[in-house]
A and B are shown apart, each in its own frame.
Chain A
Amino acid sequence: MNKIISIEHLSENVVKLSIEAPRIAKKRKAGHFVIVKIGEKGERIPLTISSSDPEKGTITLVVQRVGVTSHKIANLHVGDSVTDVVGPLGLTTHIEKFGTVLCAGGGVGTAPLLPIVEAMHKAGNRVITVLAARNKELIILEEEIGGFSDEVVIMTDDGSYGRQGLVTHGMEEIIQREKVDFAVIIGPAIMMKFSSMLTQKYNIPTVASLNAIMVDGTGMCGACRVSVGGATKFVCVDGPEFDAHEVNFDELLTRLGGFKDEEFKAYQTFLETLKKEVT
């Protein structure tokens, strides 16, 4: 049981929660993720660690309400507990002084991007970050990201904040303006696919942090397998970060939809139960 210390609603559907997990807080580095489970009958889902406080023994997770488990998490309160948290899992981000690093975060992908932006900044890189989302509501952690970036560009699909346009527009402008040595992209698979195509066009080495369906998170089940440059890799133990130009994003997109019908049905049932409980 891991107690919730604080909760902040970043938007209607996005919450940032800090939970007690002293060992993980001590060990975690940029790129690591945890697997969480809510309730005895809950599902195990992966969440990237956004930041941690080793002294207080807490880690910060950012969750967007998209299905049963994320909904349950978003509904928790301070003092409640997350039933199970295990980690830190995965390999850490490779950090070095590249020169200029372009970081792109789409939607809640900004949360796992934060520790990478921080580490890249501390390694002496010039860091330019592009944050993109559908609308202003979904732009999160702008201030924290800004603290470690030399420049932050905001892009929204509807133009409700920053500039109107896709993440790739913001990225391309920077690439054309100055020499970019390395890129990091995190966000929805479709956003990473197009961002990766862009940096490939300009021959910029790029890593993407993949989100995949997982059960155990330690390599045991193989649910998270992805094709990277002709080889099958497990996101949980070989990743979550891979050379973006080698990732088969179309396959990833298909695989993310692997339980779509089951998940949709479960979420509908869950929402109805919630409604019944309220009335």
Chain B
Amino acid sequence: MENMVEHLAQERSLEWREALRKSIKSKDRTSLERIDMPEADPVERAKGHIEVNQGLSVQMAVEESRRCLDCPDPTCIQGCPVSINIPKFIKYIEKKDFAGAARSLKETNALPAVCGRVCPQEIQCEASCFYTLKLKTPPVAIGHLERFAADWERKSGNMFIPEVAPANGIKVAVVGSGPSGLAVAGDLVRLGYAITVFEALHEPGGVLKYGIPEFRLPNEIVDVEIDNLKKMGVEFLTNFVVGKTATIQELKEEGYQAFFAGSGAGLPNFMHIPGENANGIMSSNEYLTRVNLMNAAHDDYDTPVLLGKNVAVIGGGNTAMDSVRTAKRLGAERAMIVYRRTLEEMPARNEEIKHAQEEGIEFLNLNNPVEYFADKNGRVNRIRLQKMELGEPDASGRKKPVPIEGSEYELEADLVIVSVGVSPNPLIPQSIPGLKVSRWGTIVVDEKEMQSSVPELFAGGDIVRGGATVILAMGDGRHAAAGIDRYLKKKNRSAS
């Protein structure tokens, strides 16, 4: 930690940083207004799959970067799960050295273009920005600037490939190519390890590909970041289900010395209410996979997707928002969120809720489905909903939704997307004898090293957390990479 503080101070004292700081008075910097992210018109964007957030222009980015005070104690970095040197990359933007900004992002973050889009900066770096903490004014738009730098570099066609240490010949297997797996791979390949990423689906990217829709994170951007990892030497094996195609034990026999399980939250939850197995009722995982990964909405792709006139999405998380906004884009007349608590208690990001509202999504809060009805062909056509009121706070600290007796009514819906969370994928835990798992089926790991009860197995992301964000998964990946490095160094030292 001290090293880190020293290192940051040293970089901050570089001549160019000092010169930049002196070029504008702090008072003038703080008087600048935060630049808003330009957004596509809600009516227009809801018709297609164009990105909602349009990205900052060069001029906007440079202007926003001037707000950053380049604080001597950059609290923002503590708010970042992957510890990006935030003032450094922002000052590169102010200096108009955008390639430099991108390069410094990549020192700690394998996927800056992704994080710049999907991180909840409002509770991380931006929540601990000097502006938020001390001035009580809007923070520097760190997320928007991160995205700007990454996008600029990609569009320049000249991607910086981080330097890789000489190969050490030690094989490490990464299970799952979602955010945590990619973060582990990025960090370890740089240290010279031979990394193989095993992916069960036919394309790498995990939830970034099948889950997050195009209008929030275009698949092309994920592909570019994966390509960079390939260029750094990471090997990707798709159509490979660890635990099935080969077990961890078998891979060990093939020479892999350490494993990272980032297989995600695999199993979608249902509510087990009557009629839930009717056609036209599916998990958000299924719906989003069909649309995002399988391109089901395009005629020239073979995978079908059901379209609905009245679409109800059950749940209040980001996945629910992604599903309901996708339904709107696929032509739903009514696209509705059905959530049993109030708007304030939704686990979805405020920005997503705001975007959904702009696009005409209806919010049926304090409503809970209790039964589904189907037409003669077995396709859902109505939902029986029960109204809820908020009762006493439960152990999670939020007020508990309590059904109001006699308040049930029916709602027309011909497509229902159930988005009530996911359980950890049991494939890995089941295939490893002696692995310690929690009562929720998540792999239990040591908080610092991300090491499981099986010494050579490390884990992170949703398989450890249940259902979390991309950036927390990436943070886990970075910690696990460091843990794996320490574990292998120690092991190979004692072996030799």
Residues of A within 8 A of B (CB): 23-24, 27, 37-39, 41-44, 68-69, 83-89, 215-216, 218-223, 225-227, 232, 234, 237, 251, 254-255, 257-259, 262-263, 266, 269
B277 touches A37 (CB 8 A): no
Residue in chain B with minimal CB distance to A262: B304
Contacting residues, chain A, for B299 (C-beta < 8 A): 269
Residue-wise, chain B 254-296 has the 8 Å CB interface mask toward A (1 for contact) of 0000000000001110101000111110110110011000110
**B270, A87: Cβ atoms under 8 Å?**
no
Q: Are A221 and B289 in contact (CB under 8 A)?
A: yes
Whether A259 contacts B306 by the Cβ 8 Å rule is yes
Mark each residue of chain B from 137 to 148: 1 if its CB lies under 8 Å from any CB of chain A, else 0.
000000000000
Determine if A37 and B279 form an interchain contact, defined as CB atoms under 8 angstroms apart: no
Complex interface residues of chain B between 42 and 89 (CB less than 8 A to chain A): none
- How many angstroms from the CA of A215 to the CA of B279 in the assembled complex? 15
CB < 8 Å neighbour of A232 from B277, B282, B289, B303? B277
Chain B neighbourhood of A88, CB < 8 A: 244-245
B285 shortest CB reach to chain A, Å: 5
Since A225-B277, A257-B378 are in contact, a sample of 20 more A-B pairs with Cβ atoms closer than 8 Å, ordered by chain A residue number, is: A23-B246, A41-B298, A41-B302, A42-B301, A43-B301, A44-B294, A87-B241, A218-B266, A219-B267, A220-B266, A220-B289, A221-B282, A223-B282, A225-B270, A232-B270, A232-B272, A232-B277, A254-B278, A258-B279, A263-B304
B425 with A220: CB separation less than 8 A = yes
Cα distance, A24 to B240, chains bound together (Å): 10
| B279 close to A255 (CB less than 8 A) | yes
Task: Find out whether the CB atom of A218 lies under 8 angstroms from the CB atom of B425.
Answer: yes
Contacts of A269 in B (CB 8 A): 299
What is the CB-to-nearest-CB distance from A210 to chain B, in angstroms, rounded to a whole number?
13
Contact in complex: B286, A27 (CB < 8 Å)? no
Given known contacts A27-B245, A221-B283, A68 and B302 CB-to-CB distance under 8 angstroms: yes
A222-B245 in contact given A84-B238, A237-B427 (Cβ < 8 Å):
no
Residues B378 and A43 in contact, CB atoms below 8 Å apart: no
Sample of 17 A–B contacts (CB below 8 Å): A23-B246, A27-B244, A41-B298, A41-B301, A42-B302, A69-B302, A86-B241, A87-B241, A89-B241, A215-B290, A215-B303, A220-B266, A220-B285, A221-B289, A237-B267, A255-B378, A262-B306
- Contact present for B303 and A44 (CB under 8 Å): yes
Number of interface residues of B (CB under 8 A): 43
Q: Which residue of chain B has the shortest Cβ distance to A24 in the bound complex?
A: B245
Q: In the complex, what distance in Å separates the CA atom of A87 from the CA atom of B239?
A: 8
B280-A222 in contact (CB<8A): no
B300 at the interface (CB under 8 A from A): yes
Q: How far is the CB of B287 from chain A (nearest CB, A)?
A: 9
Within the complex, the shortest CB–CB distance from A50 to chain B, in Å, comes to 18
Are B426 and A255 in contact, CB atoms less than 8 angstroms apart?
A: no
Does any Cβ of A come within 8 Å of B354's Cβ?
Answer: no
Chain B residues in the interface with A (C-beta under 8 A):
200-202, 238-241, 244-246, 266-268, 270, 272, 276-280, 282-283, 285-286, 289-290, 294-295, 298-306, 377-379, 425-427
B279 cross-chain contacts in A, Cβ below 8 A: 254-255, 257-258
Given A234-B267, A262-B304, verify A216-B277 contact (CB < 8 Å): no
- In the complex, A255 Cα to B380 Cα: how many Å? 11
* A138 smallest CB distance to B (angstroms): 25
Which of B245, B246, B267, B426 gathers most chain A CB within 10 Å? B245
Residues of B within 8 A of A262 (CB): 304-306
A70 to chain B, nearest CB (A): 11
Chain B contacts for A251, CB-based, 8 A: 277
Q: Which residues of B contact A87 (CB under 8 A)?
A: 241, 244-245
Asked whether A218 lies within 8 Å of B268 as measured between CB atoms, the reply is no
Tell me which residues across on chain B come within 8 A of A234, comparing CB atoms: 267
Given A220-B267, A251-B277: A41 and B283 interface contact (C-beta under 8 Å): no
| Other-chain contact of A266, B240, B267, B278, B304 (Cβ < 8 Å) | B304
Given A23-B245, A37-B202, A87-B245, A220 and B239 contact (CB-CB distance below 8 Å) = no
Separation in Å of the A258 CB from the closest CB of chain B?
4
**Nearest Cβ in chain A — how far from B349, in angstroms?**
23
What is the minimal beta-carbon distance from B219 to any residue of chain A, in angstroms?
A: 13
Chain A residue nearest in CB terms to B377? A257
Alpha-carbon gap, A234 to B246, bound state (A):
22
Bound form: Cα–Cα A139–B378 in Å:
32
Is B286 a contact of A215 with CB atoms below 8 Å? yes
Least CB distance from A234 to B in Å reads: 7
Nearest CB of chain A from residue B220's CB, rounded to whole Å: 15
**Which of A220, A221, A254: most chain B CB closer than 10 A?**
A220
Residues of A contacting B270 with CB < 8 Å?
222, 225, 232
B167 to chain A, nearest CB (A): 25
**What are the residues of chain A within 8 A of B286 when measuring CB–CB?**
215, 221-223
Contacts of A41 in B (CB 8 A): 295, 298, 300-302
Per a CB cutoff under 8 Å, which of A43, A225, A254 touches B302?
A43
Report yes or no: B294 in contact with A86, Cβ–Cβ below 8 A. no
B427–A218 CB distance below 8 A: yes
Given A218-B241, A219-B427, A232-B277, check contact A259 B272 (CB 8 Å). Answer: no
- Kindly list chain A residues whose C-beta atoms are within 8 Å of the C-beta of B246: 23, 27
* Contacting residues, chain A, for B305 (C-beta < 8 A): 262
A residues within 8 A CB of B285? 220-222
- Most chain B beta-carbon contacts within 10 A, residue among A68, A69, A223: A223
Q: How far is the CA of A262 from the CA of B283 in the complex (A)?
A: 19
* A176 vs B272: C-alpha distance when bound (angstroms): 40
Q: Which of A219, A221, A258 has the most CB of B within 10 A?
A: A221
Is A84 touching B304 in the complex (CB atoms < 8 A)?
no
Residue of B246, B302, B425 ringed by the most chain A CB atoms within 10 A: B302
Q: Give Cα A218–Cα B276 distance, bound, in whole angstroms.
A: 21
CA separation between A175 and B184, bound complex, in Å? 59
The 6 closest A-B pairs by CB, nearest first: A254-B378, A262-B304, A221-B286, A43-B302, A258-B279, A86-B239
B266, B278, B289, B378: the one contacting A215 at CB < 8 Å is B289
Q: Name the residue of chain A whose CB is nearest to the CB of B298.
A: A41
Task: List the A side residues contacting B379 at CB < 8 Å.
Answer: 258
Verify B425–A219 contact, CB threshold 8 A: yes
The minimal Cβ–Cβ distance linking B29 to chain A, given in whole angstroms, is 47
Residue pair A43, B267 in contact (C-beta under 8 Å): no
Q: Across the interface, which residues of A come within 8 angstroms of B282, CB to CB?
A: 221-223
Q: Is the CB of A43 within 8 A of B294?
A: yes
Most chain B CB neighbours (cut-off 10 Å) among A222, A262, A263: A222
Q: What is the CA–CA distance of A259 and B266 in the complex, to the nearest angstrom? A: 23
Which residue of B239, B268, B303, B426 is within 8 Å of A222 (Cβ)?
A: B268
- Looking at the complex, which one of A69, A84, A86, A223 makes contact with B245 (CB distance below 8 Å)? A86
A39 to B283, CA, bound (A): 26
